[in-house]
Structure 1
């Protein structure tokens, strides 16, 4: 049986931008902070090509969710197979997170409220009301909202509600 004190941490692999990314993310989300930074020792040069003293790992918290940013090297890149979903209460939150996380990122390939940030990490910026629409017992209305979502990049709650009601 797993211990009751089990805590999960998401590890993000970077190529030299771990500290920069952690500072960036903690500046966007409320109740967030960097909690610890570890540096490479001499072995870091031999195994990772990193200079001793350079940042190896940055531990940080984004509104209660624990992360580790690791300067692991160029071997791995982020892609849409993994994303972080942000549940937004209103359009103001949708607009804020979409703009902040999309700043310097690639929004040309994204749809359904997804945005890739400047590091390549994918985020789903989702209004909570959309989840309610998609879960509706009125399957036709849910289908219209779903279709509107699929044809959208930056989600607009008013447009989603209009589609749900059959007004668009």
Structure 2
């Protein structure tokens, strides 16, 4: 059992967001939906207050806390992708209805920020040749979605 669970604040769409996220990631499911037994400032009696869900084996909770605390880039969820197919899948799925940013970052339709990064990017940035790492970093800074072949070509000086 995980002792630390990321708790995500939504404005009435926690169940919708959790259902979407579990459709995107493997080994994912809604664990529990809690309806409020009494009116709260953000949720009327009987409506969804909390959604507990698992994404790719990790636990999360979504709270319908109201409009007062929107997501921002100070916290993001990082997806370590094994290959370009994974990058493409998560990038396209999560950015739909949201906003593509830069350097593998996107904001989904609920405002949550994600980093969709291939493992190869980490390898290139840690290359023992500092010039290869610099070229890969400069290429990454020019991209929205990260393209492994383009990062490798840049690292190689091409």
TM-score (normalised: structure 2): 0.97
Q: How does 1:1-168 map to 2 (within 5 A)?
A: 7-42=3-38, 45=39, 47-107=40-100, 110-167=101-158
Unpaired segments ≥5 residues, structure 2: none
TM-superposed CA distance for 1:51, in Å, is: 1.4
Aligned length: 158
1:49 CA drift (Å) = 4.1
Structure 1: 4+ residue segments shifted above 3 A:
none
Q: Unpaired segments of 5 or more residues in structure 1?
A: none
TM-score w.r.t. structure 1 length?
Answer: 0.91
Which protein has the larger Cα radius of gyration, Structure 1 or Structure 2? 1
Q: Distance in 2 between matches of 1:65 and 1:150?
A: 29
